[in-house]
């Protein structure tokens, strides 16, 4: 069935807000940590599916700059799941995923930072799909970072004030060099961006689904791709 999937307009860049792990678990009388564990499985599944479908760029929201507000035990659990994923990502070179971790990594534990550097280096030559894992990521922080970089160049006399434009800000984002996000899928039933890819999503199509993230699978993914293909994007034109 998977092979017969045909679609005429595939998004180049898909963003996913992987939400609903906690509620998925609560509905089953299970701890939130179990929801995150099943969410990690869904994540692996969706990366493989996106690759199968020929998506060029996939950005997943794993942990926001606001998620530090959660109980420390939950935060630790999520970070440990990321450690496991990165460890496996390193072992399974055959997956052919070019992995990048985007966000403010300076606040992460040293061992996690080292794992990230290693996975990024070891996956440089992979060309199956570009995966951005948004970790301690915030869209506002990212735009502020780009603005600081532009201001630094201005103060150094490298550029004139008029040269600070949208293209320069785009070039200062974590996703510099990548296409804007075409489609954002949010699971878990909420209809908001929660600080995800604010700049890059200026003309993104948004799809919100009530499916909780641990339940999200290839069929759900395909449904979103079909809905995207049926949308008419005008980008301000007629």
Q: Which three-class secondary structure string do you get for 38-71? A: HHHHHHHHHHHHHHHCCCCEEEEEEEECCHHHCC
Q: Which of 67, 122, 126, 170 binds ligand IPE (CB under 6 A)?
A: 67
Angle, CA of 85, 74 and 214, to the nearest 5°: 55
Asked if 19 touches Mg ion (CB under 5 A), the answer is yes
Please say if 109 is a catalytic residue. Answer: no
Please say if 19 is a catalytic residue. Answer: yes
Angle, CA of 184, 165 and 237, to the nearest 5°: 55
Q: Which of 13, 15, 17, 108 binds ligand IPE (CB under 6 A)?
A: 17
Binding segment (CB under 6 A) for ligand IPE, from list 16-24, 48-56, 82-90, 122-130: 16-24
Q: Nearest approach, Cβ of 212 to ligand IPE (angstroms)?
A: 7
Q: Nearest approach, Cβ of 151 to ligand IPE (angstroms)?
A: 29
Please work out the total of residues on this chain that contact Mg ion, with binding judged by CB under 5 A.
Answer: 1
Question: Of 67 and 126, which CB lies nearer to ligand IPE in the complex structure?
Answer: 67
Asked if 175 touches ligand IPE (CB under 6 A), the answer is no
Coil, helix or strand at residue 200: coil
Q: Nearest approach, Cβ of 127 to ligand IPE (angstroms)?
A: 27
Asked if 77 touches ligand IPE (CB under 6 A), the answer is no
Name the closest residue to Mg ion (Cβ).
Answer: 19
Coil, helix or strand at residue 87: helix
183-186 β-sheet, strand order: 97-102, 129-137, 57-64, 13-17, 183-186, 205-208
E strand or H helix at 229: helix 218-230
Q: Which of 67, 80, 104, 141 is catalytic?
A: 67
Question: Of 38 and 150, which CB lies nearer to ligand IPE in the complex structure?
Answer: 38
Q: Distance between CA atoms of 195 and 105, rounded to whole angstroms?
A: 17
Q: Nearest approach, Cβ of 9 to Mg ion (angstroms)?
A: 30
Closest CA to 133 of 177, 101, 174, 107: 101
Give phi and psi for 67, each to the nearest 5.
-70, -10
Q: Nearest approach, Cβ of 84 to ligand IPE (angstroms)?
A: 15
Binding site for ligand IPE (CB under 6 A): 17-23, 61-64, 67, 78, 188, 190, 192, 194
Binding site for Mg ion (CB under 5 A): 19
């Amino acid at each position: 069935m998977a092979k017969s999937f045909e679609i005429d307009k595939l998004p180049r860049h898909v963003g996913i807000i992987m939400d609903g792990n906690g509620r998925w678990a609560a509905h089953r009388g299970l701890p939130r940590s179990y929801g995150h564990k099943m969410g990690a499985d869904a994540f692996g599944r969706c990366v493989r599916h996106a690759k199968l479908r020929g998506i060029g760029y996939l950005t997943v929201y794993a942990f926001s700059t606001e998620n530090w507000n959660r109980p420390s035990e939950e935060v630790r659990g999520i970070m440990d799941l990321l450690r496991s994923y990165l460890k496996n990502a390193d072992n399974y070179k055959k997956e052919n995923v070019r992995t990048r971790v985007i966000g403010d990594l300076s606040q992460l534990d040293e061992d996690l930072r080292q794992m990230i550097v290693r996975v990024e280096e070891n996956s440089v030559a992979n060309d199956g799909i570009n995966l951005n894992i948004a970790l301690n990521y915030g869209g506002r922080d990212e735009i502020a970072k780009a603005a600081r970089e532009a201001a630094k160049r201005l103060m150094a006399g490298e550029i004139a004030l008029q040269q600070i434009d949208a293209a320069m800000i785009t070039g200062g984002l974590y996703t510099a060099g990548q296409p804007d996000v075409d489609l954002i899928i949010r699971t878990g039933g909420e209809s908001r961006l929660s600080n995800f890819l604010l700049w890059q999503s200026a003309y993104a199509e948004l799809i919100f689904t009530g499916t909780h993230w641990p339940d999200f699978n290839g069929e759900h993914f395909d449904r979103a791709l079909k809905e995207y293909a049926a949308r008419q994007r005008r980008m301000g034109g007629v």
